[in-house]
Amino acid sequence: MTRLDKLLLHVPRLRRLVLDREAFAAHCARLQHELDESLERERALRQQLDKSGEEARALAAASGDGSSINERMRNDWDNRARTSSRYFIVTGEQARTEESFFDSGEANVRDHILNDLENICQGSDPRRMRIVEIGCGAGRLTRALAAVFGEIHAVDVSGEMIRQARETAGALPNVRLYVNNGADLSVLPAAPFHFAFSFLVFQHVPERSVIETYVREVHRVLEPGALFKFQVEGGPAPDEAPADTWHGVSFSEEELRAMALRCGFEARYLEGAGTQYLWAWFFKP
């Protein structure tokens, strides 16, 4: 075979390679464009919501309406849920589609639950465990938790979030959803619970007392030996703006240890101090 024959033999493959590369580059550019668009949308939504929040607060101040912290949490989260629950629950790519939203819930449950079954179940069969989820939002984690545990009792301060959670997880036979008052667990049935969990919730709570009340409440409903695993904001508190229903209060390890003691828990492990994801493992003795 001459050199020319060989070259001709290779030209179609070479051309295909070049075309494949161009198609791939175009695909990447399209993805980047979609990502830029959704980030831009997310930014605009946040600005819009911050603005309406400021207006509502200014109106409340002008009318002398000292709405309680629980009402503020409910109103703000109802508004966020109506605007776009997905974008206020997770960010960027995870919020883009319903599928990526629920995939992110499964990934979180894999990382924080399935990889930690020893602490969570302590030898019990998870299918026989009744658990509490605080701040379930639109059911992103609830759905994944329902595939692991026997019964999920999930509460949220926002009626609109719970309405959406009912659409996505309400039909599961082992899920119960409740709108609560944003402070305690009095909506739950009296039965003792075997595990309690909260993720991406307390980082938005503006007052320590609200979180401490929850910790006491979880202590009340958990059976002895059981674990409350939760995440709080552990990063540096912003200088100027006071904590609001988006930027919640921040904790140090020492503050969490002291809270555990006051509420009758053993703070066995703490992880992520100084970051947004400060995790606590509180065991009820």
Q: Which residues of this chain interact with ligand SAM, rule CB under 6 A? A: 73, 77, 89, 134-137, 140-141, 156-158, 161, 182, 199-201, 204-205, 210
Instruction: Tell me the closest approach of the beta carbon of residue 237 to ligand SAM, in angstroms.
Output: 18
Closest approach of ligand SAM to the CB of residue 234, in Å: 16
Return d(Cα 113, Cα 150) in angstroms, integer.
Answer: 14
**Which residue number places its CB atom closest to ligand SAM?**
137
Q: What CA–CA distances, in Å, run from 110 to 56, 101, 218, 243?
A: 39, 15, 23, 31
Alpha-helical segments (H) within 63-132: 69-89, 98-112, 117-121
Measure the CA–CA gap between 137 and 156, rounded to whole angstroms: 6
Task: Give the residues across from 250 on adjacent strands.
Answer: 233
| Residue number with CB closer to ligand SAM (140 or 284) | 140
Rounded-to-integer distance, Cα 143 and Cα 138, Å: 10
CB of 69 to ligand SAM, least distance (A): 8
Nearer to ligand SAM, 122 or 181 (CB): 181
Could you tell me the two tokens for 162? 């719970």
191 Cβ contact partners less than 8 Å away, ≥ 6 residues apart: 130
Q: Judged by CB, which is closer to ligand SAM: 195, or 199?
A: 199
Nearest residue to 157 via CA among 211, 108, 196 = 211
The CA distances from residue 73 to 83, 94, 183, in Å, are 15, 24, 10
Q: How far is the CB of 201 from ligand SAM (least distance, A)?
A: 4
As a whole number of Å, the CA-based R_g of the chain is 24
Distance of closest approach, residue 156 Cβ to ligand SAM, in angstroms: 5
Q: Minimum Å distance from CB 141 to ligand SAM?
A: 5
